[in-house]
Amino acid sequence: MTKTISVTATAEKTPGAKSDAATTTPVKLKRGRPPKSATKPVATDADTGATLEPAPKRRRTYTKKAKAAENGTSLGVDEGVFFTSRLSALEADTTQFVPGDEDISMFEEARAAASISEGGVEGGGTTPSTPSALASMVGYQAKKIQLGSYVIDSWYLSPFPDEYSRHNLLYVCEYCLKYMKSEFTFKRHCQRCEQRHPPGDEIYRDDNISVFEVDGRKNKIYCQNLCLIGKMFLDTKTLYYDVEPFLFYILCENDDQGYHFAGYYSKEKRSSMGYNLSCIMILPSKQREGYGKLLIEFSYLLSKKESVPGSPEKPLSDFGLLSYRSYWRRAIYEILLTCDGAVSIDDLAAQTGMTIDDIISTLQTDGMLHRMPGTPGSYAIVADAKKIKEYVSKAQEKSPRRIDPCKLRWAPFLIKAPLSAAPTNRRRSTSTALAISSTLVNVTSDNENDK
């Protein structure tokens, strides 16, 4: 739809001249656009009616700075002003922003890294087959975490989501274990986070040490974050997101501000193999404080509470085997020092919560299990009491912190039969125990299957 309007062009009034009649020209315009004349208005002389010529355009006068700009040269500050006095000559000079050799090399490295992360390598290379291979090529992993007041280096690759793995440093709340990418988000979260302890039940407290039991089904997000953090320091850990069949026991240091995460261990709710521990991890910032053996002792305390001997999940790692053998040796030696008469391996299992296989393995490793002469299938525990006392005293000095069973407030997750009523294929001995002298500890166990 068009409209017809009139445009009036009036000549400039000159001194002593009469006003010229206005000329009108019809113009068709479209709706929504400003009026625009089809023909330019023509100025005429009021007396003669002659058409007036338009004034000639003023030609551009080239200054010294304009000629310098055309020639590609620069002027000093005193020689001219650029951009209508807004920039000086130094500020207007763009030659300093030309990419150099170092900038070009950085660009090539970034482009090569981007091509690898997209699934291919320039120049006919191969695509990384595993996340660890990709991480070694382009650094595609979170290398550090800030947990509380500590910045901890990662030991192994942890499968954080891609948007978080691209950052070298992740910020983790030490109360709810939520991980964040930026420091600003982390500080804002710390101001608003109302949680001051792990979710679940506090089942043990001794001085500044507390242990919480967390169900993986009830607190799924917390346990998943816990497993992702644990994978950063455990090479053989494979559980990340399927946390519902597990119980997690969180070790914390408590103070006026809250309960600070120090380590944890997990175990299956229903273990067909009788395992009382599946995974254990202590933060590097909390190591060398005896927390590892403290959690191991706590796991065996729960096994004794359930009246079922327990054992860690096999196979054990190298460091795990060293820690467990140290605990097994100390637990067995303490009972051998306090025994008043004959003690069988079954009695050791009942008092320590350990399985018979772990007890026999420890005694054989220390060379304390000997075959009794003249009695086939019978063995005796023979050890030097002086060496046992020295070992126990050194262990107590090195790790003075112990678990107090009286401070445990816990009920078993599953009710099981008492240990004495548990089926066993091992026959108790009825033979007489050897005498216990001041230098030797001799304990008999006539068990045909103990070998």
Q: Which residues are catalytic?
A: 313
Cβ 212 vs Cβ 198: under 8 Å: yes
- What SS3 state is found at 56? coil
Quote helix, strand, coil % in the chain, to nearest 5: 30, 20, 50
> How are beta strands 2-9 and 144-147 bridged, if at all?
unpaired
Max CA pair span of the chain: 152
The rounded distance, in Å, linking the Cα atoms of 443 and 351 is 15
- Burial pattern 295-313, b for ≥16 Cβ within 10 A else e, equals bbbbbbbbbbebbbbbbbb
The rounded distance, in Å, linking the Cα atoms of 172 and 260 is 12
Phi-psi region of 6 (alpha: psi -120 to 50; beta: other; left: phi over 0): beta
Residues 6+ apart with CB under 8 A from 229: 145, 147, 158, 172, 177, 179
- What SS3 state is found at 249? strand
Residues 6+ apart with CB under 8 A from 97: none
- What SS3 state is found at 349? helix
Bridge partners of residue 212, in order along the sequence: 202, 250
